[in-house]
Structure 1
Amino acid sequence: MEQKKITVLGIGGTGCRIVGILRENPLSAPLRLLAIDSDSAGLERSGLPEEARLLAGARWRAGRGCGGSVLDGQRVVAHERSRIEKLLEGVPFLLVIGGLGGGTASGGMPVVLSVARKLEIPTLFFVSLPFTLEGHSKRKIAEDTVKEELLGLADAVICLPNDLLFSVLESTTPLSNAFKLADQELSRTVLALTMVLLHGNLLAADFGNFITLLRRKKSFCSIGVGVASGEIDGENRGEAAMERLLHSPLLGGADKLGEADAVIFTLLGGPELSLGETKQLLELAGRQVKPETRLIVGAATGEEWAGKLMLSAVTVRFDAESEASELLRSSSERAPKRTRSAAAHAADADQLILPLEPISKGVMERGPQVKWGNDDLDVPTFKRRNITIDNGKRGVEQ
């Protein structure tokens, strides 16, 4: 992909915060950043220029937000459908990011997905799930949005539970700091994924790999990011980046890599990053996972990363029900179609033939006949009507 081609769209409060963090990072210059929200204050805080912001439902909600109502979120974003189409016209790749459980993101993401499908834009959704302490209703809204609105139609969906922060942060950590950490880690991972997709000049990660891995599968993900530099960490910068990744707040602990069904590794570095160092680093990362774990690996270099490197990991653990459905679907697609004649041949060995033969009435032979009209009901129907029993073999033999 050429530069300035990947569009990152933040929707709702969390999405606007993350594109705002990306805007402040000079390394995100090759990205086109957009924001949609029904809250005018949230859009302002993103810091994006006016032409990159869309205030949804301005006449109806007057910039006050949706108050957590998914229905209102759907209405205000659907009302802006034509403007969204103009914003996304000609976009060859779209990454949509936001936090589910509220109104604008949960209600609006399906609308954005609908527009993307109409314009035939490959789309990756990167969503965070609310903290448990935010309440059951928010969690249910988030899970229903993923299961009922996104998974069936989106190219790929990465879901990240915010509760992962509790596995590494002290219980005394202020909630505002926890949210900031979550936003920072999300923005770093978005940057890593998009940079590798843009110009994976060492190891290219094709978006088709993401689709194959994640499409229509319910999964539980976590992310880890480790940043290091030669100036601070010296020759051991690779090991330092790996160590920081393993203790990353949204990874949920080092054992997440070992438990994963799949892991997406990305490596960004400066021009000095050699193929040998890349190989060493990715082998180091690969030792953290099971032999059967599926790996997607991408690596890229750029002048803006001179002297630094960033290693990131997205771990994926599939829901058992989703995996079973996928297996059944794949088996059905692979099974050769048989003709009716071939199916009959295959069934011959197992087909049962009912013993439809007249049975003597014994001592009741001279008893009164049971009749209905002119039919003797003691005589089997197939005998009375001279019906020939076809056990399926006749058609095959012909």
Structure 2
Amino acid sequence: MSDAMDNTPAAGSDKKIIIIGIGGNGARIIRSFSHLPGSAVYDTAAIDTDRESLGISGAKSTIQAESDWTIKSGLGCGGDIMKGERAIARERSRITQMITGYDYIIVTGGLGGGTATGGIRTVASVAKGLAVPTLFLLTTPFSFESYTKRKNAEDCIGELLPITEALITLPNDLLFSTLPPDSPADEAFAKASEEMAASVFGAAEILRSRKLIGSDFAEFSAILQKRKTSCAIGIGRAGSDDGLDRCSLALERMLESPFLGGSARLESSNAVILTVTGGPDLQIDEMKRAIENASAILPQGVNLMTGTSINPDYAEQVQLSVLAVRYDQPPEAALPQQHGKSDSLWSQTVTSAPQKKQQADMVQDTFKLETISKGIFSKSAAVKYRDEDLDVPTFQRRGIAIDKGSTGK
């Protein structure tokens, strides 16, 4: 394992981090995030085309993007990706003003709908232009949602990968492991927002921790960009009133996080980022024990990055945040083809007599290169280079005769 733990707890971090929720799902995540203990140290923002969702988001700053600027109804874009893209693109200057001056940005939302799927590329472009390290933490639709939504989410992820430094997608279907089969759909979506808010907070604590500041974000993003990856996030929290060993209890709850997938996911990880968040009462020995207990689950040789974060709102509480990364195995290399004469009779290509005759009769077609006038542009000013009219095809202005070759007939 690499990257030894920094054993000295830090008194927080002076890094400015903003959490941005985009779309209706992003606004709900921001609302749940704002109710978490310790979230007050982060700035929050929401961007949506629906005025009502922005009103209940509880974000410190909001941008209402009109899907139809001629009507300005504020009713959203109705799942239309093109409307969402145009609406967010028109707010590019306001988005630039919103995120200027921050050290890190976390963008969250649910893919598949109109506003987030269509507009998140604009947010990514603005962040990249300002050279602000940005983490995208997004959910993909439930399997029971429409094929169109799932396809839109997949296409959006493919377009985001080349322009983002760190992109993590979490499937909502992971929540089925913690929800009863008879749970109402509204409860499932609400649970998804709550768990996603906790995951966003855990990711923010990873960036805010003492180990992952400054140039270490490059290592953080390098882990995600090294090759195609699949990621999982786990959050576990416990207090002094839960028992004597609050760190062990926090570890158990972290392993039960629906977006993590249990200890089996950690055991199969190639890289792990682990952060311990506590209050001023966090002791070095219990922090060290928490890291060691979590490390015992990891496979040998895993790339481990650890950090600590002190948050005044976490008095008598401790939280473990983990990001588990698994690299997709590259496809097996295809066997090289053998060239030249083969010893096997079955590998030789035999051409029959009818095939030979058919090949002899085949004639390659040629383009019909005809002299065509410039039509209505005949009286327009010519585009010339070295006294040659570039509007006239090369073969025509230079009088080149096209050799069509011999057909043998």
Task: State the TM bucket, normalised to the shorter chain.
Answer: 0.7 to 0.9
Alignment check: 8 A CA contact 2:205 2:275 kept = no
Which of the numbers 239, 252, 269 marks the counterpart of 1:229? 239
Deviation at 1:170, TM superposition (A): 2.2
Which of the numbers 220, 223, 246 marks the counterpart of 1:213? 223
Cα 1:5/1:116, change in 2 over 3 Å = same
Higher helix share: 1
Q: Which runs of 5+ in 2 are unaligned?
A: 1-11, 334-409
Deviation at 1:250, TM superposition (A): 2.0
Deviation at 1:40, TM superposition (A): 0.9
Give the AA of the match of 1:174: P
Which of the numbers 144, 157, 171 marks the counterpart of 1:146? 157
SS in 2 for 1:15: helix
Alignment check: 8 A CA contact 1:222 1:252 kept = yes
Report the aligned-residue RMSD.
2.3
Give the AA of the match of 1:287: A
Per the alignment, residue 278 of structure 2 pairs with 269
Give the AA of the match of 2:39: S
Alignment check: 8 A CA contact 2:134 2:164 kept = yes
Give the AA of the match of 1:8: I
Alignment check: 8 A CA contact 1:28 1:191 kept = yes
- Aligned-partner Cα distance in 2 for 1:84–1:204: 26
Give the AA of the match of 2:76: G
- Aligned-partner Cα distance in 2 for 1:260–1:13: 32
Q: Which has the higher contact order (CA 8 A, sep 6+)?
A: 2
Cα 1:259/1:168, change in 2 over 3 Å = farther
Which of the numbers 182, 205, 213 marks the counterpart of 2:192? 182
Give the AA of the match of 2:190: K
Per the alignment, residue 160 of structure 1 pairs with 170
The question of 1:110 aligning with 2:121 is answered yes
Alignment check: 8 A CA contact 1:97 1:126 kept = yes
SS in 2 for 1:54: strand
Per the alignment, residue 10 of structure 1 pairs with 21
Cα 1:324/1:47, change in 2 over 3 Å = farther
Alignment check: 8 A CA contact 2:15 2:103 kept = no
Per the alignment, residue 62 of structure 1 pairs with 73
Cα 1:84/1:204, change in 2 over 3 Å = closer
The question of 1:170 aligning with 2:180 is answered yes
The question of 1:80 aligning with 2:60 is answered no
Give the AA of the match of 2:141: P
Superposed, 1:299-318 pairs within 5 Å as 299-318=308-327
SS in 1 for 2:162: coil
Superposed, 1:303-342 pairs within 5 Å as 303-321=312-330
Which of the numbers 101, 105, 108 marks the counterpart of 1:90? 101
Worse-superposed segment, 223-232 or 31-40? 223-232
Which of the numbers 130, 133, 152 marks the counterpart of 1:122? 133
- Structure 1, residues 146-183: CA drift from partner, whole Å, max 9, x if none? 11x21111110011111111233321222222222222
Deviation at 1:33, TM superposition (A): 0.7
- Aligned-partner Cα distance in 2 for 1:303–1:225: 19
- Aligned-partner Cα distance in 1 for 2:332–2:275: 29
Alignment check: 8 A CA contact 2:205 2:309 kept = yes
Deviation at 1:140, TM superposition (A): 1.4
- Structure 1, residues 178-205: CA drift from partner, whole Å, max 9, x if none? 222222222222223323423x34x446
Cα 1:320/1:72, change in 2 over 3 Å = farther
Deviation at 1:262, TM superposition (A): 2.0
- Aligned-partner Cα distance in 1 for 2:236–2:186: 22
SS in 2 for 1:158: strand
Alignment check: 8 A CA contact 2:33 2:194 kept = no
Alignment check: 8 A CA contact 1:3 1:30 kept = no
Deviation at 1:82, TM superposition (A): 1.4
The question of 1:283 aligning with 2:279 is answered no
- Structure 1, residues 314-361: CA drift from partner, whole Å, max 9, x if none? 22223335x999xxxxxxxxxxxxxxxxxxxxxxxxxxxxxxxxxxxx
Deviation at 1:69, TM superposition (A): 1.6
Q: Which runs of 5+ in 1 are unaligned?
A: 326-398
- Aligned-partner Cα distance in 2 for 1:276–1:103: 49
Which of the numbers 33, 36, 39 marks the counterpart of 1:25? 36
Per the alignment, residue 136 of structure 1 pairs with 147
Per the alignment, residue 387 of structure 1 pairs with none
- Aligned-partner Cα distance in 2 for 1:313–1:294: 13
Please report the TM-score for the alignment, with normalisation by the length of structure 1: 0.75
- Aligned-partner Cα distance in 2 for 1:124–1:207: 10
- Aligned-partner Cα distance in 1 for 2:252–2:101: 41
Percent of pairs with identical residues? 40
Deviation at 1:247, TM superposition (A): 1.4
Give the AA of the match of 2:185: L
Please report the TM-score for the alignment, with normalisation by the length of structure 2: 0.73
SS in 1 for 2:273: strand
Deviation at 1:2, TM superposition (A): 5.2
- Aligned-partner Cα distance in 2 for 1:91–1:271: 26
Deviation at 1:105, TM superposition (A): 0.5
Runs of 4 or more, structure 1, over 4 Å off, are: none
Superposed, 1:218-257 pairs within 5 Å as 218-233=228-243, 235-257=244-266
- Aligned-partner Cα distance in 1 for 2:55–2:199: 24
- Structure 1, residues 120-148: CA drift from partner, whole Å, max 9, x if none? 2111101111111112221111111111x
- Aligned-partner Cα distance in 2 for 1:121–1:11: 18
- Aligned-partner Cα distance in 1 for 2:140–2:123: 19
